[in-house]
């Protein structure tokens, strides 16, 4: 007999600041119902975007010279694209957490 329910777990990293904020936000909510509602509200938006993209494909738009120059610039080698992405990406620094830092007491036996 096949089960009628299916579970799909979501993992959160307590050390990650964004994950902690999300966990705090959904702490007192029905998590399963909350996620189902978000997914359900997201479904019509996806279909609208797909329909709009199909309409755009049917009607060719004239390309301006500015757009042509942008298209020409996008064709970079793989190494150049990697370097460009590295330059755009900022290195993440550990965020200053509001959680207390554990500092052991050095004078335990004194």
List pLDDT tens digits, range 67-77: 555 555 567 78
Span 1-46, pLDDT tens digits: 677 888 888 888 989 999 999 888 888 778 888 888 888 888 877 6
Contact (CB, 8 A) for 51 and 40: no
Phi-psi domain of 90 (left: phi exceeds 0; alpha: psi -120 through 50; beta: other): beta
């Amino acid at each position: 007999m096949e089960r009628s329910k299916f579970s799909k777990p979501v993992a959160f990293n307590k050390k990650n600041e964004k994950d902690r904020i999300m966990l705090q936000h959904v702490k007192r909510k029905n998590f399963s119902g909350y996620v189902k509602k978000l997914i359900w509200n997201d479904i019509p938006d996806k279909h609208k975007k797909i329909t709009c993209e199909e309409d755009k494909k049917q009607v060719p738009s004239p390309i301006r010279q500015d757009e042509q120059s942008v298209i020409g610039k996008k064709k970079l080698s793989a190494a150049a694209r990697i370097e460009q992405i590295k330059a755009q990406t900022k290195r993440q620094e550990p965020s200053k957490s509001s959680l207390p830092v554990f500092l052991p007491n050095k004078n335990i036996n004194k």
